[in-house]
């Protein structure tokens, strides 16, 4: 544990997008803050495996926390992403109907949205929908168009939020699992697998484990069920088949299988929704992926399985209360839950963060703002997006741009090095991938992985055999070949 202090004012447990953005908002205040996560990097929970949609906010029950924070968060998303240098696009979304029953559901969603004060909602005919999205099937009879919806890079938002918090003085304690919490006179003694820490306030953002963290202070009044969603990610050559996010009508299981182009230009289809075998089960299965593919074909028949480059799954932290759980524990002062943040948690996160940071400040008697907090992250244009002239200039300024590490995604050595050297930087091959896209292309790292391993080994001053792909124990090289 990169333990810097023994005593903190605030400990955020969980470096997902919710904990990351909360730590960032808290870092604008003058206080001793740490963010603790059991993983080696940010965005390794639900925040790294979701659809990346900034939802319009028409479907959550009016008056719920989900509805409130979705509407506020979606309105804040573009500016938050601009400040953090995170890719975001206001694409809009369609919920499509295939007949009278679905059309009734669209009318209900539209009414719910209007009641909640959502702007930019319109019901259009199947024909109008196909004019805007020619890939939609002839069987589509109507669509609910949400013009405020968009897409974002969920892991980049998460990683940049943590980086911004660290730049503003937050201690990021990676690979540190909270195992026990004891109450003390001034707050809490938090026991982790790397040692103990004292803190006055705890913000519980532990995703699918937030119920267990609450249980550690004997206030486990809610429980969370892991509901898995599996996806197929399709090559960028197919991206742009649809411009907007295409949903089918939702069911009690969730928003249903969608077809969309991600903010990075891949086509994405999924997710399904099934109770997972455990809170660690992110396996994908042929029958689930077959369901995803066949259901997506109902929206657009032009989907090619031979262009699939990978599959993945994420776990929704579904609470038995039916809504986000946000607030200080009634039983344990200073213990603050931000739990059950399933969809639309990503969309809501910027607004949740601002709200919670102000609440925590109040709990601690009104924290003063730092004088020189840094709200905007320095970001660089990706090499692949530069013009030929810009590329030449970049190589002249830094010859490490002249060495291409990932051919599929045009990622240079300079970019890989920077991803490791930035505050809260990459420590693994997947960490480099999430920051630079090296390994996200068609060959899925087949070409660039050995070079990334070599660079990580040099930069982190560890043996190549010690370099990890993802989390603890995921060694890539079992041993050395001696000729």
The CA distance from 213 to 209, in Å, is 6
Residue with smaller CB distance to ligand FAD, 123 or 191: 191
For ligand FAD, give the closer residue by CB, 45 or 187. 45
Give me the least distance between CB of 314 and ligand FAD, in Å please: 3
Rule CB under 6 A: which residues touch ligand FAD? Answer: 13-19, 36-39, 44-47, 50-53, 55, 177-178, 205-209, 213, 229, 271, 314-316, 341-347
Select the residue whose beta carbon is closest to ligand FAD and give its number: 345
State the helix-helix crossing angle for 65-84 and 154-167, rounded to 10 degrees: 70
Cα three-residue angle 69-72-75, rounded to 5 degrees:
140
Alpha-carbon distance values, 307 to 295, 410, 435 (Å):
17, 20, 24
Q: What residue ranges in 147-290 does DSSP mark as E strands?
A: 150-152, 171-173, 178-184, 187-192, 195-204, 224-234, 245-248, 258-261, 267-270, 274-275
Q: How far is CA 378 from the centre of its chain?
A: 20
Number of helices and strands (H, E) in the chain?
Answer: 12, 22
Q: Which is nearer to ligand FAD, 325 or 455 (CB)?
A: 325
Q: Do the beta carbons of residue 34 and residue 316 sit within 8 Å?
A: no
Q: For this structure, is 285 an active site residue?
A: no
Cβ neighbours of 372 (radius 10 Å) = 6
Minimum CB distance to ligand FAD smaller for 18 or for 448: 18
Least distance CB 116 / ligand FAD (angstroms): 16
Indicate if the alpha-carbon torsion angle 253, 259, 260, 266 is positive or negative.
positive
214-220 — which CB contacts under 8 Å span 24+ positions?
Answer: 214/329, 214/335, 214/337, 214/339, 216/178, 216/180, 216/181, 217/181, 217/183, 217/188, 217/329, 217/331, 217/332, 217/335, 218/331, 218/332, 219/329, 219/330, 219/331, 219/332, 219/335
Q: Judging by DSSP bridges, how do beta strands 195-204 and 7-13 pair with one another?
A: parallel
Q: How far is the CB of 440 from ligand FAD (least distance, A)?
A: 18
How many angstroms separate the CA atoms of 61 and 464, rounded? Answer: 51
Beta carbons within 10 angstroms of residue 329's beta carbon: 17
Of 55, 285, 304, 401, which is the active-site residue?
55
Cα-trace Rg, the chain: 22
* φ/ψ (deg, to 5) at 427: -125, -5
Exposure on the CB side of residue 31, measured as CA atoms within 13 A: 31
Cis peptide before 472 (omega within 30 of 0): no
- Residue 341 near residue 66, CB atoms below 8 Å: no
Per the CB < 8 A criterion, the answer to whether 399 and 391 are in contact is no
DSSP secondary structure letter of residue 35? E
Residue-by-residue DSSP string for 302-338: ---GGGEEEEEEEEEEEETTSS-EEEE-SSSTTEEEE
Residues tagged active-site: 55
């Amino acid at each position: 544990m990169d333990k810097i202090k023994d005593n903190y004012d605030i400990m955020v447990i969980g470096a997902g997008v919710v904990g990351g953005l909360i730590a960032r908002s808290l870092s604008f205040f003058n206080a001793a803050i740490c963010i603790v996560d059991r993983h080696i990097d940010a965005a390794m929970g639900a925040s790294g495996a979701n659809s990346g949609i900034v939802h319009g906010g028409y479907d959550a029950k009016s008056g719920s926390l989900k509805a409130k924070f979705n509407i506020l968060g979606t309105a804040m998303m573009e500016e938050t992403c601009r400040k953090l240098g995170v890719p975001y696009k206001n694409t809009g979304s369609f919920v499509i109907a295939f007949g009278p029953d679905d059309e009734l559901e669209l009318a209900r969603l539209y009414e719910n949205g209007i009641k909640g004060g959502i702007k930019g909602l319109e019901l259009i005919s199947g024909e109008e929908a196909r004019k805007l999205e020619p890939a939609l099937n002839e069987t589509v009879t109507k669509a609910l168009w949400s013009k405020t919806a968009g897409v974002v890079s969920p892991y980049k938002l998460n990683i940049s939020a943590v980086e911004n918090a660290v730049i503003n003085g937050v201690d990021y304690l990676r690979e540190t699992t909270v195992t026990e919490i004891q109450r003390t006179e001034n707050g809490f003694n938090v026991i982790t697998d790397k040692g103990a820490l004292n803190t006055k306030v705890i913000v519980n953002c532990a995703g699918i484990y937030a119920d267990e963290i609450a249980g550690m202070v004997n206030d486990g009044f809610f429980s969370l069920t892991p509901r898995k969603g599996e996806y197929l990610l399709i090559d960028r050559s197919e991206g742009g088949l649809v411009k907007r996010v295409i949903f089918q009508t939702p069911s009690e299981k969730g928003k249903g299988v969608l077809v969309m182009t991600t903010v990075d230009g891949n086509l994405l289809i999924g997710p399904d929704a099934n109770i997972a075998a455990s809170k660690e089960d992110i396996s994908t299965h042929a029958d689930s992926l077959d369901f995803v593919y066949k259901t997506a074909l109902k929206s657009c028949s032009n989907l090619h399985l031979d262009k699939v480059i990978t599959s993945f799954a994420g776990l929704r932290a579904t609470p038995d209360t039916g809504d986000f759980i946000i607030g200080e524990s009634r039983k344990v002062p200073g213990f603050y839950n931000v739990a059950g943040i399933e969809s639309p948690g990503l969309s809501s996160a910027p607004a949740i963060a601002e709200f919670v940071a102000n609440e925590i400040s109040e709990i601690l008697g009104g924290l003063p703002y730092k004088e020189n907090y840094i709200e905007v992250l320095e970001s660089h244009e990706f090499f692949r997006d530069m013009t030929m002239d810009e590329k030449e200039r970049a190589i002249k300024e830094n010859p490490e741009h002249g060495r291409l590490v990932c051919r599929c995604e045009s990622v240079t050595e300079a970019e890989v090095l920077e991803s490791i050297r930035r505050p809260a930087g990459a420590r693994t091959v997947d960490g480099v991938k999430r920051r630079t896209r090296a390994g996200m292309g068609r060959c899925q790292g087949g070409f660039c992985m050995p070079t990334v391993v070599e660079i990580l080994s040099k930069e982190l001053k560890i043996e190549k055999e010690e370099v990890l792909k993802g989390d603890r124990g995921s060694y890539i090289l079992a041993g050395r070949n001696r000729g």
